[in-house]
Amino acid sequence: MSSSYAPSSLLRRLTRENKTMGPRLAQLEFQNLSKELDQDDLFDLALDFPNDKMADPLTPPNISMTPFADHLPSLNVTLGRTAWSPDAAALPVVGVLVRNVESSVLRPALKALLRKHYIEPFARYVFLCEVMRPIPFLGRYEFTYEYIGQQKPLEIAQRMRRRYGMVQLRDLTSGQALWKAMSNPSPAGG
């Protein structure tokens, strides 16, 4: 057996196993996610701070208009663990605005979106969260997220376009398109 044969056969075997096990693992993760979203207290984040004074909101600088921004690569946006696609990197990046809404509104909206995502992935999501409550949940299932706090989503859309290659932004609860890129980002992330 030649030394070049073994690695190529190993790669073929791993590719076959990925095609077989990838969808099954996504199914198991989606079942876990669905069970979590059925829990009424999922997003009840109760923190007790000894001081009532809150820090000023963090506003990162908008580098999208600076000269060096054209040379920055886009960050990787994962498909999440609850979906599988043979070519996930080819799917477009869509921003999903997660507003500060009650858990009774947030849970069914997330469940509906992620069910469609599980059945037939059509995008890789960047969840733009106005509050911290959904972030631990999104992180557990390896979704890409960004805490935006009080920043206006339309004002940071260009930054998200450069940072992640985002091509559109939609509201989670209404499904309404809020922003769409005029052209696809350049390969360098522009």
- How does pLDDT run across 68-100, given as a tens digit for each residue? 777 778 899 999 999 999 899 999 999 999 999
Tally of structural domains, the chain: 1
Mean predicted confidence (pLDDT) in 137-147: 96
**11 inside domain:** no
Tokens 């935006």 found at? 148
Tokens 């693992």 found at? 25
**122 inside domain:** yes
**46 inside domain:** no
- How does pLDDT run across 20-68, given as a tens digit for each residue? 788 889 999 999 999 999 999 998 876 666 777 767 776 767 776 777 7
- How does pLDDT run across 104-134, given as a tens digit for each residue? 999 999 999 999 999 999 999 999 999 999 9
**50 inside domain:** no
* 59 to 27, 96, 128, 148, 150: CA distances (angstroms): 38, 19, 14, 8, 9
Buried b (16+ CB within 10 A) or exposed e, 103-140: beebbebbeebbeebbeebebbbbbbbbbebbbebbee
**86 inside domain:** yes
**9 inside domain:** no
Q: What is the rounded (10 degree) CA torsion for 123, 124, 128, 133?
A: 110
- What's the domain range around 115? 67-180
What CATH number is associated with residue 79? 3.40.1380
| pLDDT confidence tier of residue 8, bands split at 50, 70 and 90 | confident
Average pLDDT value over all residues in the chain: 86
**98 inside domain:** yes
What is the token pair recorded at 158?
A: 């260009």
Mean predicted confidence (pLDDT) in 157-162: 89
- What residues contact residue 71 under an 8 Å CB cut-off, 6+ apart? 188
Three-state secondary-structure class, residue 43: coil
Does residue 142 register a pLDDT over 50? yes
**140 inside domain:** yes
User: pTM to 2 decimals?
Assistant: 0.82
